């Protein structure tokens, strides 16, 4: 049952994905429970995957999922070099950028690259 129809069409996943990484680490660090932090990360990740599947299809959902998991894994190695919080913030920024570029900017009503002045995008309503 959908409470809000087509919510995934307009909902931006970049902030959800970034918040999952940041909040997941924050919860794990604050509580000392990696499992609890992982639960926060997984909840945000699964929400993003559900939206990507509806909005963009399996290929994009799979690619963004792999990118998010890769950023999560890289943040662990990067933390040894630049520190935990900077690594988490960098991983969140990279993940959010990829989410925006390959999914969120394609939402209904969002134009990633507007047409130059005087030109109309194909399929755009006339003024």
Per the CB < 8 A criterion, the answer to whether 17 and 44 are in contact is yes
- How far apart, in whole angstroms, are the C-alpha atoms of residue 29 and residue 34? 8
Residue 119 resides in a domain: no
The residues, any chain, with a CB within 8 Å of residue 45's CB and separated by 6 or more, are: 17, 20, 65, 68
Residue 2 lies in a domain: no
The token duo for 8 is: 């995934």
- Residue 125 falls within a domain, yes or no? no
Is 45 within the bounds of a domain? Answer: yes
Q: Is 62 part of any domain?
A: yes
Kindly state the DSSP code that residue 106 receives in the 8-state scheme.
G
Whether 115 is in a domain gets the answer no
If one counts the domains in the chain, the total is 1
Residue 105's pLDDT is 93
User: Has residue 90 been placed in a domain?
Assistant: yes
d(CA 56, CA 75): 26
**pLDDT at residue 113 tops 60:** no
Does residue 93 sit within a domain?
yes
Which of helix, strand or coil describes residue 12? coil
Residue ranges making up the domain that contains 70: 8-106
Q: What pLDDT shows up at residue 10?
A: 81
**DSSP symbols for 40-53:** HHHHHHHHHHHHHH
Predicted pLDDT of residue 126: 55
pLDDT score, position 49: 98
Residues 71-85 have pLDDT tens digits of 999 999 999 999 999
């Amino acid at each position: 049952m959908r409470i809000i129809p087509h919510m995934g069409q307009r909902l931006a996943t970049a902030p959800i994905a970034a918040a999952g990484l940041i909040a997941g680490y924050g919860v794990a660090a604050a509580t000392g429970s990696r499992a609890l932090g992982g639960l926060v990360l997984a909840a945000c990740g699964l929400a993003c995957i559900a939206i990507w599947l509806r909005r963009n299809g399996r290929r994009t959902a799979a690619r963004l999922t792999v990118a998010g998991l890769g950023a999560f894994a890289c943040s662990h190695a990067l933390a040894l070099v630049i520190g935990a919080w900077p690594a988490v913030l960098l991983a969140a920024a990279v993940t959010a950028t990829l989410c925006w570029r390959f999914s969120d900017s394609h939402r209904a009503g969002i134009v990633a690259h507007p047409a130059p002045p005087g030109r109309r995008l194909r399929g755009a309503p006339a003024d």
